[in-house]
Chain A
């Protein structure tokens, strides 16, 4: 009797926790969407901000976000995928791989404000890139590197050993085996990792604001400063420039993140289904 009652109370609490978590998620997404969507128009998405963002649109910040995310992935993807291939196919567990893993895990735990400080002192000041797409992109690349390494490693590990054996038996070298057997099969997993990394780049503020700057103009070159949507949203809200525009920008941010997540989870689901079929 008491056992059954304890269980009922405990399970009630657990259900409540799950419902609460989903409710908070719905509240955050719902509130921003309900207050933000009405202010979104074509003009808002394609126009330039005026009066520091009080009026006008957010086009330059959309460009800034996409460009910065793209630059960071262009740098981080080859590095991360290469690292994952090395760790899974080219070496055995050793002191070196343990050191590499320690580096990757530690990098994943470094807070974004530290990346911001580092990017500012190293890329912006020491390498004299100034507040720029390049400095911001490089900083973000280091930030998302662990995500890409980890997801690629996981994807490669799910490739059946038989693929490798068949490839070798046909006389392939290690690199031929990797490029023809392992990578094609691991591709959906790798793409998922890259998409999630793009999501991190879109959401980031602290690491970006001190490396890419807050300029509201459209960038002209890799050395131009840019402002991302997340940074724009932060400035609108904290400096009390316009609550209406903040909600609208926030809604665009949420829609972007939602899309990224939907694409990533549908890829994961397809991946899992394929593995089950095997």
Chain B
């Protein structure tokens, strides 16, 4: 009898995360969808003008969507090659002593508060870019470089796991055929770990898309659509973070509407990542 009660109680705790996700979805949509409906979905997504406090307010979030895309793909350009290289280093190349050091180092990289990264972008990288490449310094480029490092731990951790999970037999087969170490890595390990690596990249993408405070500090927060990486921009997240503090009425609803768009993007990425993560698990079992 007592046993059964405990079982029910544990089930209730296990449903916690699912219930939380449901509540988040419901309340964000409930707060954001009415305004999107009022403005019109297409108008909301494709409008280039955001002026929520004007007499005739304009709620177009295209500048933020474009800004988010610039920043996310920019950070992937840096984070993916670097992250993959570090993961390969940790699994294949690092001398044992250094390998022991790498894991906590990457964990620390993940643990440093995002506002600290933003601050480094603001005080160190932005002036450097202004001095060397021109522009205002606070720009897509500054944000993308720093974000690229911020998403490294996500990409590294998941690709590392995927590479370690490659069965030894496959590697030995390649070595037996006379492959060099590099040929084994590029021709066998990376392809075999492919789906895990893709999942890591997608999750890293989600992190870049969702980062807020650091982005506010680095990107210049301009409502113009950027045409060069040296220009400032604004993103879905940074605009919410900046304006939530004082927004009211329709303006606040529009920020929740922006949250709805962001949430949908993120859930699509999450779903993609889970399908990729699931695949190697099944193929490993059959191998």
Binds A, one of B43-51, B55-63, B108-116, B162-170: B108-116
B104 within 8 A of A: yes
Report if A146 contacts B (CB, 8 A).
Answer: yes
B244 contacts A118, CB within 8 Å? Answer: no
Interface residues of A in 12-63 (CB under 8 A from B): 13-15, 17-18, 20-22, 24-25, 27-29, 31-32
User: For chain A, what secondary structure do more than half of its interface residues adopt (helix, strand, loop), or is it mixed?
Assistant: helix
B213 and A99 within 8 A (CB): no
In contact, A82 and B86 (Cβ under 8 angstroms): no
**For residue A85, which residues in chain B have a CB less than 8 angstroms away from its CB?**
10
Chain B residue numbers with a CB within 8 Å of A7 are: 180-183
Choose from B13, B31, B122 the contact partner of A86 (Cβ within 8 Å): B13
- Shortest beta-carbon distance, B210 to chain A, in Å? 2
A174 within 8 Å of B (CB atoms)? yes
Residues of A within 8 A of B93 (CB): 11, 14-15, 18
The interface size of chain B toward A, counting residues with CB under 8 Å, comes to: 87
Chain B residues within an 8 Å CB radius of A91: 11
B237 within 8 A of A: yes
Q: Closest B residue to A253 by CB, please name it.
A: B113
The dominant DSSP class at the B interface is helix
- B212–A175 contact, CB under 8 A? no
Say how far B33's CB is from chain A's closest CB, in angstroms. 13
Which residues of chain B are near A115, meaning CB under 8 Å?
24
Identify the interface centre among B98, B105, B255: most chain A CB within 10 Å of its CB: B105
Q: Is the CB of B23 within 8 A of A174?
A: no
Say yes or no: is B117 at the interface (Cβ < 8 Å to chain A). Answer: yes
Give Cα distance in the complex from A92 to B54, angstroms.
57
Is B39 an interface position by the 8 A CB rule? Answer: no
Q: Which residues of A contact B237 (CB under 8 A)?
A: 111, 113, 206
Docked pose: A10 CA to B88 CA in angstroms = 11
Given contacts A20-B82, A111-B262, contact A118 B211 (CB under 8 A): no
- Inter-chain contacts of B256 with A (CB < 8 A): 117, 121
Question: Do A100 and B111 have beta carbons less than 8 Å apart?
Answer: no
Partner of A145, one of B20, B119, B180, B245: B20
A52 CA / B125 CA spacing, docked (Å): 27
Q: Are B117 and A28 in contact (CB under 8 A)?
A: yes
A interface footprint on B255-282 (CB within 8 Å = 1, 0 otherwise)? 1100100110011011001100000000
* B31 CB contacts on chain A under 8 angstroms: 117, 121
Cα distance, A243 to B119, chains bound together (Å): 10
- Residue A258, interface by CB 8 Å: yes
Q: Known contacts being A118-B27, A250-B119, is A103 close to B85, with CB within 8 Å?
A: no
Q: Per-residue 0/1 for A215-237: is the Cβ within 8 Å of any B Cβ (1 yes, 0 no)? A: 00000000000000010011001
Please give me the 10 A-B residue pairs with the lowest Cβ-Cβ distance, nearest first. A111-B210, A82-B13, A103-B18, A17-B85, A203-B113, A7-B182, A86-B10, A83-B14, A86-B14, A113-B212
Q: Given A22-B105, A90-B11, A106-B267, output 18 extra A-B contacts at Cβ < 8 Å.
A: A7-B181, A14-B88, A15-B93, A21-B106, A21-B152, A81-B13, A83-B17, A90-B7, A100-B18, A109-B206, A113-B237, A117-B240, A118-B28, A146-B17, A196-B111, A234-B217, A237-B122, A261-B107
Interface of B toward A, CB cutoff 8 Å:
2-3, 6-7, 9-21, 23-24, 27-28, 31, 81-82, 85-86, 88-90, 93-94, 98, 102-109, 111-120, 122-124, 149, 152, 180-183, 185-186, 203, 206-207, 209-213, 216-217, 237, 240-241, 244-245, 255-256, 259, 262-263, 266-267, 269-270, 273-274
7 residue pairs bridging A and B, Cβ less than 8 Å apart:
A3-B182, A83-B13, A90-B7, A107-B17, A107-B24, A114-B262, A122-B23
Q: Give A residues with C-beta under 8 Å from B.
A: 3-4, 6-7, 10-11, 13-15, 17-18, 20-22, 24-25, 27-29, 31-32, 78-83, 85-87, 90-91, 99-100, 102-107, 109-118, 120-122, 126, 142, 145-146, 149, 173-175, 196, 199, 202-206, 209-210, 230, 233-234, 237-238, 243, 246, 250, 253-254, 257-258, 260-262, 264-265
